[in-house]
Structure 1
Amino acid sequence: MTALVIAEHDNASLKPATLHAVTAARQCGGDVHVLVAGHNAAAAAQAAAQVAGVAKVLHADGPALEHGLAEDLAAQVLAVAGGYSHILFPATASGKNTAPRVAAKLDVSQISDITKVDSADTFERPIYAGNAIATVQSGDAVKVITVRTTAFDAAAATGGSAAVESVPAVAASGKSRFVGQELAKSDRPDLTAAKVVVSGGRALGSAEQFQSVLTPLADKLGAAIGASRAAVDAGYAPNDLQVGQTGKIVAPQLYVAVGISGAIQHVAGMSGSRVIVAINKDPDAPIFSVADYGLVADLFEAVPELVKAL
């Protein structure tokens, strides 16, 4: 029984989501192999070989794989899928785009967004916006799985000594092409990997106040900044900051919710946080039901005072 983890990388280094998926794969039992599919990605393959618990790295290198287009990546996974009992993808935008294509081609049911491995064929995953946990048992010969990375500790990035095996790269499918990308640069930690997250809601009132209130607090805490869907829809923050069921799932050591009511959609994306602090002037706001510490106060007064105290 061997599991294959599909690595996420930038052709130079592994993305943190891969390390979390390796941990889930190890819990499935048996050896863990990692597929690094890219172009001029030898450095990423070597990084995968050093991950603790990885027995082998498959390195597919070709121009069609440079940008991780789902059609070509799925074809590459299918080309090496024989003999694997589990194929695991991080539950990221890329993983969610590619995994269903692989499952469909293998004629198996995808097991989505797992948060726990009970055994080699039994997994737990949230349903109903995280209000219930389903235990799913699969009888398929191959389990195609997406892993909620925040639910698993990251495997150690060093300490391994896996062999790197080159495998033939697939040709371009021609079904899609890479046009371009615009990458936002920030000195802040990545939202999904940050140990501290400060999120704001619609109560902040404007994009200017969203920045002026939250930025000093985030700077003091060394935190990433997030937002509720209501704040994003109102134009206070960009889409990539949205935390929630339809945004990003986070599980930091500390989550500070400022002016967020606590709708189910938002709570589904941050309820796994170690410590949750809520600041809201409404004492009946649902966010207080999941918060470890709650402060009923006007955020425009409380947050600056908190910044001064820090």
Structure 2
Amino acid sequence: GQTSTGRDLAPRLAFRLGTGLSTDCIDLSIDPETKLLRQTKPVYGGNAQAIFTCDTMPQVVTIRAKAMSPMERDDSRKGEIIPTKVEIDMAQVRTKVTEKVKEEVTGVKLEDAPVIVSGGRGIGCPEPFKTTLKELADVLHGAVGASRPPADNGWVPEALHVGLTGKIVAPDIYIAIAISGASQHIAGCSGSKNIIAINKDPEANIFREAKFGVVGRYEEVIPAFTKKLRELLAG
């Protein structure tokens, strides 16, 4: 997987095996002629996708989290489990963990949330993330996220940053509030099944990525939206 462990292990493994490596893939398929693995991954900051093939064996790739839906279980398939004893000589290990920093996030973990309510620079200050956005997220049993500017400004913890240099998410519903839609942010949420954009700028790039959009000030739209959802869920 395209995790911190995967990003560390995959290149070491590829080097030891004398083969190539593709990281952060979002789709895999087999070329019918060459039988090689076709590896699709975002390029140019998420603005385009490219397909790579590696002509060496074995094929080594890392996959972006939730980039692909799991296959249906097939009980007819059988495999052999081969127990293997691994002995590690710690004297040969030249890397060491110097510090562990635990994410200070309560509630639903961002990567696991079925609904994410994210805010951007247009939110204006830290408070709405704790009130307006959190209230909507709570009604939908989701989590609060953010684009890079709020995280850089210290409005939210870095753990809530969604984007190319933050968390890669793929929820059922991604609500982007006051987010312009920079390619670096889209790269982090493009796997969402439904993107809902709320922005006062009708020309904001986020509307090109959204399935549904509302042009308006979030201060007016979100409280009304939250109130209506509560009424519908209560009924």
TM-score (norm 1): 0.66
The answer to whether the Cα contact below 8 Å between 2:107 and 2:143 also exists between their aligned partners in 1 is no
Q: 1:174 to 1:118 in 2, by over 3 A?
A: closer
Q: How far did residue 191 of structure 1 move?
A: 1.5
The answer to whether the Cα contact below 8 Å between 2:105 and 2:159 also exists between their aligned partners in 1 is no
Q: 1:92 to 1:175 in 2, by over 3 A?
A: closer
Q: Distance in 2 between matches of 1:169 and 1:157?
A: 34
Q: How far did residue 289 of structure 1 move?
A: 1.2
- The residue number in structure 2 matching 1:97 is 8
Q: Distance in 1 between matches of 2:39 and 2:121?
A: 36
- The residue number in structure 1 matching 2:88 is 170
Q: Distance in 1 between matches of 2:72 and 2:200?
A: 42
Q: Distance in 1 between matches of 2:101 and 2:114?
A: 27
Q: Quote the RMSD (CA, aligned, Å).
A: 2.2
Which whole-Å deviations, capped at 9, do the CAs of 1:49-96 have from their partners, x for residues lacking one? xxxxxxxxxxxxxxxxxxxxxxxxxxxxxxxxxxxxxxxxx0112211
Alignment of 1:1-310 (within 5 A): 90-119=1-30, 120-154=36-70, 163=81, 165-172=83-90, 173-177=93-97, 179-188=99-108, 190-310=109-229
The answer to whether the Cα contact below 8 Å between 2:134 and 2:143 also exists between their aligned partners in 1 is no
The structure in which a higher percent of residues are strand is 1
Runs of at least 5 residues in structure 2 that lack an aligned partner in the other structure:
31-35, 230-235
Q: 1:207 to 1:164 in 2, by over 3 A?
A: farther
Q: Distance in 1 between matches of 2:131 and 2:142?
A: 15
Q: Distance in 2 between matches of 1:135 and 1:299?
A: 39
Aligned to 1:142, the other structure's residue is in SS state coil
Q: How far did residue 97 of structure 1 move?
A: 1.9
Q: Distance in 1 between matches of 2:114 and 2:74?
A: 21
Aligned to 1:255, the other structure's residue is in SS state strand
Q: How far did residue 228 of structure 1 move?
A: 0.1
Q: Distance in 2 between matches of 1:181 and 1:155?
A: 34
The answer to whether the Cα contact below 8 Å between 2:118 and 2:146 also exists between their aligned partners in 1 is yes
Aligned to 1:126, the other structure's residue is in SS state strand
Which whole-Å deviations, capped at 9, do the CAs of 1:84-121 have from their partners, x for residues lacking one? xxxxxx01122112211222232322111122222142
Q: 1:134 to 1:157 in 2, by over 3 A?
A: same
Q: Distance in 2 between matches of 1:176 and 1:155?
A: 37
Q: 1:99 to 1:258 in 2, by over 3 A?
A: same
Q: How far did residue 198 of structure 1 move?
A: 0.8
Q: Distance in 2 between matches of 1:155 and 1:193?
A: 18
Q: 1:178 to 1:169 in 2, by over 3 A?
A: farther
Q: How far did residue 241 of structure 1 move?
A: 1.0
Q: Distance in 2 between matches of 1:234 and 1:125?
A: 30
Query: Number of residue pairs matched?
Result: 220
Aligned to 1:192, the other structure's residue is in SS state helix
The answer to whether the Cα contact below 8 Å between 1:202 and 1:234 also exists between their aligned partners in 2 is no
Aligned to 1:129, the other structure's residue is in SS state helix
Identical columns (%): 37
Runs of at least 5 residues in structure 1 that lack an aligned partner in the other structure:
1-89
